[in-house]
Structure 1
Amino acid sequence: MEDYFLNQEAISPSCLIKILQGDKLPKEGEIWEFTNEIKPLDLYCYLYAKYGPPNGIQSLLRSDDSDNLIHWEWALAGEYGITMIQGQNFRSEVLLRGHFKDKGLTVDN
């Protein structure tokens, strides 16, 4: 599981909506919050270099000012489900939705 995040693929917002509205993806999931562990700018630069511009639904809803709660979001698909990574005002969040339970995936990965 240590290289799980290296094997993700960016998905389009329209595809993400279809996946989330469908009944094939399990409803279970986890949310990880990062406040001081990694700088949001470092995370943004890494994700942009690897996957291109933010492609999450929240990125489409934001305005071009500093009043956004969520400033950027990537939606990625992997072997066990969907991973959404958000840059928020006071933290970054990783939202996992799918078959992640009992896979041994942890924040340290």
Structure 2
Amino acid sequence: MAGVGEETPDFYTDQFVMSLSPYGVTCIFYLTSPEPPPPGQPPARKELVRLRMSLEHAKIMAMLMRRQLKDYENESGATIAIPFALYRDLDLSPDDW
């Protein structure tokens, strides 16, 4: 936790991995390297932060994030577009939203 006179870390992330157990959730947030990877290799990524929380906290956070994003779309008239390939790769559907 940042103390008096200390800056709070500020991160931008473009990837995350989530794991669950009966005791909690761990989310690891990454940033993909801008360097093109060697042929046949995935892009390099840097672990930025590991975030742990209770299952209850994660569930409430997911519900609040969904509500905030839906409110943004409704109020702005803009749709946050997700490429179909990403839905497919993550085994999701627009109906999941």
**TM, length-normalised to structure 1:** 0.27
The higher relative CO (CA closer than 8 Å, separation ≥ 6) is in 1
**TM, length-normalised to structure 2:** 0.29
